[in-house]
Chain A
Amino acid sequence: MSERKTIDARGSFCPGPLMELIAALKLIEVGQEIEIWSTDQGTAKDVPEWAAKVGHETVESGEKDDHWYVVVKKTK
């Protein structure tokens, strides 16, 4: 299982969670994963869309308790 880091972006407005994710992806190695938490519902669709466009992998996404989450694996 890949090493996974979690970013708690709950309370941050669009496109804040995406920006936090992108900044964090720059700091990890290829193959590692980041799980982003957001209370912005758009994040659940925006992050997978962004990952697909730029070539990263969405491992899973969904809703849990008070937030949406998306797990992205850095692939390049």
Chain B
Amino acid sequence: MATQPLYIMLSSADRDKFQLASMIASVAAVSERSVHVFVSMGALKVFDKNASGNERYGDSGLNVELCDQNAPDPIDMFGQGKMLGDMTMWACSMVLDVLGWNESNLVDDLFDGQMGLTKFLSDAEEGQLISI
């Protein structure tokens, strides 16, 4: 049986959840599984291209410990997943509107474009959807 595509809806800005989402996405993508990440709500602000380093995650969850241990940056891991595997990332068009942003406000070379929730949910019917 062919492996189902994996759809990840990322809405949390917490470092813990970002770390987990980026690990799941990158490992699945390099394991010959198609991965599609939809970034919405507070999670999208984390991808502000003008935010610096670990400050973008605030004091959430294990951020301090992960920084102290020099754990891989989630944004770098999303980038590795795209580079080494079959992975797309989509910015929630509604949140871009709320923030008054467009794709140029986001970290370079990660996003494949913007998408509405309806289209993402429709696409996700053919695979496995997890929400973080």
Q: Residues of A at under 8 Å CB distance from B?
A: 12-16, 18-19, 22-23, 26, 50, 53-54
Contact = CB atoms under 8 A, between A and B. Distances in A.
Nearest to A54: B32
Interface stretch (B23-31, B43-51, B102-110): B23-31
A15 B27 contact: yes
B84 A22 contact: yes
B84 A15 contact: no
B63 interface: no
Interface in B71-125: 71-72, 77, 80, 84
B84 A19 contact: yes
Contacts of B23: 14-15
Given A18-B30, A50-B31, 6 more contacts: A13-B70, A14-B23, A19-B77, A19-B84, A22-B84, A54-B32
Contact of B84 (A14, A23, A53): A23
B72 A16 contact: yes
Interface residues of B, number: 13
Contacts of B30: 18-19, 22, 50
Interface string B14-58: 000000000100110011100000000000000000000000000
A54 B31 contact: yes
A13 B71 CA distance: 6
10 contacts: A15-B23, A15-B27, A15-B77, A16-B72, A18-B30, A19-B80, A23-B84, A50-B27, A50-B30, A54-B32
B92 to A, nearest CB: 26
B31 A26 contact: no
Nearest to A23: B84
